[in-house]
Amino acid sequence: MLRSPSNSPGGVSRRVVLGGGLAAGAGGCAQAQPVVAPARDLGGNPGPGLWEIARGRGIAFGAAVQAQLLATDPAYEQAYAREAGVLVPEFEGKWSVLQPKEGEFDFRLLEAIVQWGQARGRTTRGHALVWHEAFPEWAVNALSEGAPRARAVMAAHIARVLSTTRLRIRDWDVVNEVIADPPGSDTPQAEGELRNSPFLRALGPSYIETAFRLAREQDPTLRLVLNDYGLEEDTPWAAEKRRRLLNLVRSLVRARVPIDAVGIQAHLQMDRPFRPQVFGDFVRALRAEGLSVLVTELDIREASSVPDDFVARDRLIAERAGAFISSALEAGVKTFLTWGLVDRYSWLVLEPAVGRRDGKLHRGLPLDWEYNRKEMWRAMARAFASA
Ligand code: 9MR
């Protein structure tokens, strides 16, 4: 089943990372674009970063990061040092980077992020053990060679990754994007409610439960997370996706599968309505199952209808971010991660077809193209400070 182009975070088939190592381009960082935004408030004394403001209220804030940029762009590194208390590898924890060939593991890029964080008292969360993207060809083939082989491959990956990282990474997206995209408002698909992934085809729906149990076998207290997208907005499509996810989560909880939390990606879209009550009710329903809820990949995808003018654009983006974070906080979310920190390296820039379709630059992260804090940053700071 293909993703619905208008609803998926990717919306187009995404580039799949097949190689590890810097030279192979571990996911490829965005090219720097021309300077377009006026520098505003960097100054010599920028004051506390988002993570410190959040920490003061018992909230964790962090962002997806790219090891290659941390190592090569000093302004990027400073921005992370200032703003991010939690780091998530944007590519470096994915299967294609960690196990590009069967049995050949490469933790160098992931460890680079972990060590950068440890040196500054920051934590790293893991993303993602079982995902149909950034999944190498050899593994796709192996999964098609029958259930015993598929299970062994999945078990070996989970065991090796968790046993190698468990002392340093205590929080993992065990399965990512397992709910099928609904084609319409509430019409269940013929294939069912789970994504038709190589894992589902090889092992059936129980692969999700198996992945969590395998992860728990490695460590009794690691936080095990199910992460998904398209759950935030007040549309029939998102309502159906929420229903499917709740359905799955409830069945996992009933079966005593060791799941600790749900990650809500929150790739928000400006052209979709957002209702705090609807979203808050969803978070509360998940928490009623005894799970934590994390916001794992927040960014704001602009619509072509968003005005050209930076001030007006930034205000709209900030309003959406503030409303979303406040409703999540009110419903009990305590961890917030943005998918990147700086507009110039957003995946929405890398893949313009899923971003603004008018070729305009993206402004959906807290720091602008010149690493300056913008209205979205201030809206987030206000939301955290008043939590
Ligand atoms: O931002 C990431 C993009 O640059 C990569 O090409 C892609 C494949 O590795 O993954 C993107 O990150 C995705 C994340 O892992 C899962 N949720 C959606 C994110 C944006 O597509």
Ligand 1 proximity of 27 Cβ (cutoff 6 Å): yes
- The predicted model gives 153-170 an average pLDDT of 98
pLDDT of residue 321: 98
> Rounded to the nearest whole angstrom, what is the distance from the C-alpha of residue 27 to the centroid of ligand 1?
8
The CA-atom distances, in angstroms, between 9 and each of 228, 248, 267, 348, 381 are: 10, 20, 6, 9, 25
- 110 vs 11, higher pLDDT: 110
Helix/strand/coil for 126? strand
Q: Is the dihedral of CA 252, 257, 262, 263 positive or negative?
A: negative
Minimum CA distance residue for ligand 1 atom 1? 347
List, for residues 171-200, the tens digit of each pLDDT value. 999 999 999 999 864 444 546 899 999 999
Residue 167, Cβ density class (10 Å: 0-12 exposed, 13-18 middle, ≥19 buried):
exposed
Per-residue confidence (pLDDT) for residue 7, from 0 to 100: 42
Question: How many CA atoms within 13 Å lie on the side-chain side of 109?
Answer: 32
Helix (H) or strand (E) holding 356: none
Is the pLDDT reported for residue 262 higher than 60? yes
Q: How far is the CA of 81 from the centre of ligand 1 (A)?
A: 22
Which protein residue's CA is at the shortest distance from atom 12 of ligand 1?
90
The residue ranking higher by pLDDT, 27 or 123, is: 123
- Interatomic CA distance for residues 291 and 375, integer angstroms: 32
Determine the residue type at 210: T
pLDDT for res 191 = 63
Task: Give the residue, by CA position, lying nearest to ligand 1 atom 3.
Answer: 347
pLDDT digits (tens, 9 = 90+) for 29-40: 333 343 334 344
At residue 308, the pLDDT reads 76
Report whether residue 350 contacts ligand 1, using a CB cutoff of 6 Å: yes
Look-up: residue for tokens 């590890």?
Answer: 20
228 within ligand 1 shell (Cβ under 6 A): no
Could you give the 3-state DSSP secondary structure of residue 331?
Answer: coil
Q: Which tokens go with 344?
A: 């110039």
More confident residue, 8 or 114: 114
pLDDT-derived band at 310, boundaries 50, 70, 90: confident
Give the Cα separation of 166 and 93 in Å (integer): 13
If DSSP codes are grouped into helix, strand and coil, which group holds residue 314? helix
Instruction: Using the predicted structure, report yes or no on whether residue 223 has a pLDDT greater than 70.
Output: yes
First CA to last CA across the chain, in angstroms? 40
Give which of 28, 382, 93, 81 is closest to 227, Cα–Cα: 93
Ligand 1 contact via 169 beta carbon (within 6 Å): no
CATH number of this structure's domain 6-386 = 3.20.20.80
Q: What is the mean pLDDT of residues 90-116?
A: 98
pLDDT tens for each residue of 330-353: 999 999 999 999 999 999 887 655
Looking at residue 354, its pLDDT comes to: 59
Beta carbon of 243 within 6 Å of any ligand 1 atom: no
pLDDT of the residue at 252: 98
Q: What is the pLDDT of residues 29-87, one digit of tens each?
A: 333 343 334 344 444 446 999 999 999 999 999 999 999 999 999 999 999 999 999 99
The amino acid that residue 167 corresponds to is: L
pLDDT of residue 360: 62
Closest atom of ligand 1 to CA, residue 128 = 15
Asked if the model's pLDDT at residue 19 lies above 90, the reply is no
Structure confidence at residue 27 (pLDDT): 39
Cα 43 to averaged position of ligand 1 atoms, centre (Å): 32
Cα–ligand 1 centroid distance for 254 (angstroms)? 31
Asked whether the bond before 128 is cis by omega within 30 degrees of 0, the reply is: yes
pLDDT at residue 246 above 80?
A: yes
Q: Tell me what pLDDT residue 14 has.
A: 36
Compute CA distances 29 → 70, 176, 188, 363, whole Å. Answer: 11, 21, 37, 17
- Greatest alpha-carbon pair distance for the chain in Å reads 60
Nearest CA to ligand 1 atom 4: 347
pLDDT at 150 over 60: yes
Whole-number pLDDT of residue 188: 47
More confident residue, 46 or 323: 323
Mean pLDDT of 262-268: 98
Whether residue 271 contacts residue 300, with contact meaning beta carbons closer than 8 Å, is answered with: no
- Tell me what the mean pLDDT of segment 315-329 comes to: 97
Mean pLDDT of 210-223: 98
* Cβ contacts of 65 within 8 Å, gap of 6 or more: 80, 84, 87, 88, 89, 90, 113, 340, 341
Give the single-character DSSP code of 5. Answer: T
Q: What's the sign of the alpha-carbon dihedral 228, 307, 305, 323?
A: positive
CB of 347 sitting under 6 A from ligand 1: yes
CA atoms within 13 A of residue 106's CA, in its CB half-sphere: 19
The pLDDT of 359-385, averaged and rounded, is 91
User: What pLDDT is stored for residue 15 in this prediction?
Assistant: 31
